[in-house]
Amino acid sequence: MKQNRSNREGKTRDFIIIILSVIAILVCVTVLFPQVRRMMMNLAAQIVHKEASTYQTWLKALFSYALGGICFILFFDYCTLTNSGRALVNKMKQEIKECLSEIDFKVFVRPTLLMFIIYLLGVLTIFRANFLYLDDVSRSIVGYRGWYDWSRYVSEIASIFVHSDTNLTEISPLPQLLAILILAFSSVLLVYIIGKKKITTVRLLASIPLGLSPYFIECLAFKFDAPYMALSVLASIIPFLFVAHKKAFLLISVASLLIMVMTYQAASGIYMMIVVILGFQYWNNREKSNKEILSLLGIAVLAFCFAMLLFRFFLMRDLNKEDSGYVSNSMHSIPNILIGILINIKRYAETIIHDFGITWKIGVGLVLLLFIVQSMRRSVRKKYVSLFVSVVIICLSFAISYGVYSLLRTTSYEPRALIGFGAFLACFCIYLVLDYKKAAIVTVVALNWCFFVFAFSYGNALADQARYAEFRISILLHDLSTLYPNLGRDDMSFYLKNSIDYTPSVMNISKRYPIIEKLVPKRLGDESVWDRYYYIRCFNFSNYHGVLYGIADYDALNFPVVLDSYYHTIRSDGSRVLILLKH
């Protein structure tokens, strides 16, 4: 009796799923017809009284969502309505349960607390600086989110929960505290995975570059973005908790990689880099057969490619950022892709070489050299083979660490875009201290101590530059308000030439660590849109719409001098004002 009732309930459930699926597919299919999209575009234009072409981008996104919706519905129906699909789902659920049951999550608590304290100490001076970093300026003033524009939907949604409102407000250091907590857990997981489930203090200290590398430290300077940037790193590491079971590893990898690209795409190289290092470990120690290692690599490549394709065709917004000089959505053409990748990786390496001081370069070089030596010493393979493969692993891991950015026609070399290099160093440092050789431990701890100390210098540099910039902004706006009491006049326009220089303390740091000049915004000048936005909006400069930049020939504005001071010269013809900043 109960079995008959269960069968009837099952048939009813399947019937409902089929009906709802058919309706959903019909709705999605209608969007695919050009006539329907044109009708929707014209209707929207009539409702809000705007040109129909305004909605082209929106309709392209809707088209992608419709295709994605159809694929998702068909896959969902396969998993719920077919015997093979149900068997696959049950198998994956069983594997995930087995993986979770094998993990004692209590062992993560103390190490996570330790790493949280270390990262917290590292960002103390950043907290004290209280610096509105780049996008933070507009987010704190306007309250906009804007991650949607970059297809970072997880960041867009998560920010609503973090700020408990759709309108963002400045709640620092809470987001940064969340970021270092996520980073602390990420470090522990990375040690757990590479260290074969054994967590020690030395190995945890070796993981410091993951969160306090000179590149990720910029991410922690962001008051609003920091937790989502950290989440992208964690999402790249989590799948390896399930690496022992193929189906579970595949499913969790795809899900985690989608979270990664919908939080911060600069972390896209971390996942495959860990796969390469794990594969090398298995091969070098004969822990797994060549077939098992190739199987792991194949599953990881499949998961990565599938997730990237899902994101590219169904989730990524079709926005062209090339005109802005920032990252584009377009890849190199097929005939030029190899050359394009090599050029991007070459510039990636050149950027790191330029950014790093001599002490860091020596430390990194020693870590990589010791990695080769350690690999040969531990290897059960022939020594010359292990030597060759370990060098290949270093080169391959470095290239992969740049992620999908190496494929793009227009890419970014901003510090925050190079966070994969910090993960690269963390992985090799952890591998190096696995057997507690003194030379390896001293080298790794010394390098990471340098990064730890630099984090303090960075926070103090932000505070010092902010102090100087606000002083310059204050006297400039005071002079302008004295000369032109009615700054809000619509017929007035302002032109700004040059920018202030860095403070002596920042220039002192740059002698050894050139990257500091990339990490510290000047705040007053014509170089960065966020610097302009800062002194215009944060100081309530009412005529911010009249401030213009990028004049081709400033000398053509041959206005009479109305004020000449030690810090700036102001020229004007009454309605147009040219401000010449002095260093």
Please tell me the predicted confidence (pLDDT) of residue 103. Answer: 87
Angle at the Cα of 370 (from 364 to 376), degrees rounded to 5? Answer: 145
Band the pLDDT of 537: cuts 50, 70, 90: confident
Q: Residue 534 to residues 144, 259, 313, 495, 527: CA-CA distances in angstroms?
A: 15, 32, 36, 16, 12
- Mean pLDDT computed over 501-523: 93
At 82-134, the pLDDT tens digits run 777 778 778 878 888 888 888 888 999 999 999 999 999 999 999 999 999 98
Nearest residue to 193 via CA among 290, 270, 94, 259: 270
Instruction: Please tell me the distance from the alpha carbon of residue 276 to that of residue 297, in angstroms, as a whole number.
Output: 8
Average pLDDT over residues 50-70: 58
* Sequence letter at residue 387: L
The confidence band for 22, taking pLDDT boundaries of 50, 70 and 90, is: low
Does residue 3 have a pLDDT over 60? no
Whether the Cβ atoms of residue 21 and residue 70 lie closer than 8 Å to each other: no
Distance CA 195, CA 500 (A): 48
Cβ atoms within 10 Å of 350's Cβ, excluding its own: 11
Phi, psi of 495 (to 5 degrees): -125, 135
Strand order in the sheet with 568-572: 547-548, 493-497, 576-581, 568-572, 561-564
The residue to which tokens 């937790």 are assigned: 227
CA distances from 105 to 41, 99, 156, 177, 434 (A): 52, 12, 29, 22, 21
pLDDT score recorded for residue 322: 47
pLDDT-based confidence at residue 401 (cuts at 50, 70, 90): very high
Judge contact between 244 and 132, C-beta under 8 A: no
Q: Are 134 and 530 in contact (CB under 8 A)?
A: yes
Query: Does the structure show a pLDDT above 70 at 463?
Result: yes
pLDDT of res. 323: 45
* Range 553-570 average pLDDT: 83
Determine the angle formed by the axes of helices 174-194 and 109-122, rounding to 10 degrees: 130
Cα distances (Å, whole numbers) of residue 577 to 123, 496, 529, 538: 41, 9, 19, 21
| Residue 221 confidence (pLDDT) above 70 | yes
Q: In sequence order, which ranges of 262-336 are alpha helices (DSSP H)?
A: 270-284, 290-310
Q: Name the amino acid, one letter, at 505.
A: S
What residue segments make up the domains of the chain, in order of their start? Answer: 2-81, 96-436, 459-581
Whole-angstrom Cα distance, residue 571 to residue 387?
Answer: 66
The pLDDT of residue 5 is 58
What is the mean pLDDT of the segment spanning 196-216? 94
Question: What integer pLDDT is reported at residue 410 of this predicted model?
Answer: 85
Query: Which of 73-77, 472-476, 575-579 comes out lowest in average pLDDT?
Result: 73-77
In angstroms, the Cα distances linking 66 to 37, 149, 256 are 11, 19, 23
User: What's the pLDDT score for residue 466?
Assistant: 93
Per-residue pLDDT reduced to its tens digit, 334-373 = 888 899 999 999 999 999 999 999 999 999 999 999 999 9
Residues 6+ apart with CB under 8 A from 60: 318
More confident residue, 566 or 532: 566
Mean pLDDT of 51-76: 62
Q: Which of 30-34, 195-199, 215-219, 517-521 has the lowest mean pLDDT?
A: 30-34
How far is Cα 169 from Cα 162, in angstroms, rounded to an integer?
10
* Alpha carbon distance 177, 410 (integer Å): 33
Q: Residue 490, class by beta-carbon neighbours within 10 Å (0-12 exposed, 13-18 middle, 19+ buried)?
A: exposed
- pLDDT, residue 326, reads 65
Report the chain's mean pLDDT, rounded to a whole number: 84
pLDDT for res 52: 47
- Cβ contacts of 562-567, under 8 Å, gap ≥ 24: 562/483, 563/479, 563/483, 565/475, 565/479, 567/472, 567/475, 567/476
pLDDT band at 26 (very low <50, low <70, confident <90, very high): low
User: Is the Cα dihedral 351, 353, 357, 362 positive or negative?
Assistant: positive
Rounded-to-integer distance, Cα 104 and Cα 209, Å: 26
pLDDT > 70 in the chain, percent: 81
Specify the pLDDT at position 61.
60
pLDDT-based confidence at residue 199 (cuts at 50, 70, 90) = very high
Beta strands in 334-394 (DSSP E): none
Q: How confident is the model at residue 390 (pLDDT cuts 50, 70, 90)?
A: very high
